[in-house]
């Protein structure tokens, strides 16, 4: 069974819930399974360490997850219009894979959640694409043939799936956002299967 790595960081749970929907889209494609992984929180306090195994939720990602999977969905909350440090920190540790060209030619998709509607979803999604393109990955976005891209009044962009959580981060994922998460996972899995054939 071919696998797609759904790798995310989430503090409040919004991006975690999106990851579950992306995984649902991935697994709607016959012959593809989603491997869900997260990354530890990093801190400006250098003495702080996280346990080896998270108390709840997805296991922490290892480099072998990137190696073994045929595609990657990468999710992060927006932090000042950019990806969260925890995701960037994990990516900065992938040099050995970059040197070997392990990810060259594999497809990738990105997703994010913001507090506000114009709080930097697109810049965050594009910032997440940059290191993946250095790795030689092929970006998969959302085309306007997905009707929800035009009907949404909250998240959902051609660059990847997104969600507007609200200032209190208490807005549920809307039906349009949900459908676009699933569509992105499905599109990524279909592309990965074709590229791996
Ligand atoms: C340090 C920090 C920076 C943030 N920067 C932004 C931002 O630039 N734009 C925005 O709309 N929301 C911003 N937010 C809000 C989060 O992106 C938003 O709450 C998101 O839905 C959290 O996802 P999560 O529930 O998966 O952790 C920020 C939150 C924190 C803690």
Around ligand 1, the residues with Cβ closer than 6 Å are 10-16, 77-81, 113-116, 119-120, 165, 169
User: For residue 83, is pLDDT > 80?
Assistant: yes
Find, among 36, 45, 130, 43, the residue nearest to 83 by Cα: 130
Query: Tens digit of pLDDT for each residue in 30-42?
Result: 999 999 999 999 8
Taking all residues of the chain, what is their mean pLDDT, rounded to a whole number?
96
Separation of alpha carbons 149 and 166, rounded Å: 19
- Closest ligand 1 atom number to CA of residue 13: 25
Phi, psi dihedral angles at 174 (to 5 degrees): -75, 170
Q: For residue range 20-67, what is the model confidence (pLDDT) as tens digits?
A: 999 999 999 999 999 999 999 988 777 677 777 888 889 999 999 999
pLDDT at 36: 98
pTM of the predicted protein model: 0.96
Mean pLDDT, rounded, for 181-197: 97
Tell me what the mean pLDDT of segment 116-126 comes to: 97
Distance 54 CA to ligand 1 centre (A): 22
Q: Looking at residue 54, what is its pLDDT?
A: 86
Percent of the chain with pLDDT over 70: 99
Return the best residue to mutate from 19, 75, 78, 110 for the ligand 1 pocket (most ligand atoms within 8 A of CB): 78
Beta strands in the chain (DSSP E): 2-8, 32-38, 71-77, 107-114, 138-139, 161-164
Per-residue pLDDT, 56 = 85
Q: Distance between CA atoms of 46 and 124, rounded to whole angstroms?
A: 25
Q: Are 109 and 141 in contact (CB under 8 A)?
A: yes
- Average pLDDT on 85-112 reads 97
């Amino acid at each position: 069974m071919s696998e797609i790595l759904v790798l995310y960081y989430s503090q409040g749970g919004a991006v975690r819930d999106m990851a579950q929907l992306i995984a649902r889209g991935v697994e709607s494609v016959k012959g593809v399974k989603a491997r869900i992984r997260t990354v530890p929180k990093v801190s400006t306090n250098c003495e702080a360490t996280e346990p080896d195994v998270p108390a709840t939720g997805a296991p922490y990602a290892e480099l072998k997850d990137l190696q073994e999977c045929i595609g990657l969905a990468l999710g992060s909350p927006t932090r000042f219009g950019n990806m969260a440090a925890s995701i960037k920190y994990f990516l900065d540790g992938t040099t050995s894979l970059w040197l070997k060209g392990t990810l060259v030619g594999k497809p990738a998709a990105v997703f994010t959640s913001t507090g506000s509607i114009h709080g930097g979803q697109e810049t965050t999604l594009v910032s997440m694409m940059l290191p993946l393109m250095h790795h030689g990955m092929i970006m998969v976005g959302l085309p306007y043939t997905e009707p929800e891209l035009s009907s949404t009044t909250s998240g959902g962009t051609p660059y990847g799936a997104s969600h507007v959580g609200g200032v209190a981060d208490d807005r549920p994922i809307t039906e349009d956002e949900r459908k676009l998460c699933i569509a992105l996972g499905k599109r990524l899995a279909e592309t990965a299967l074709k590229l791996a054939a």
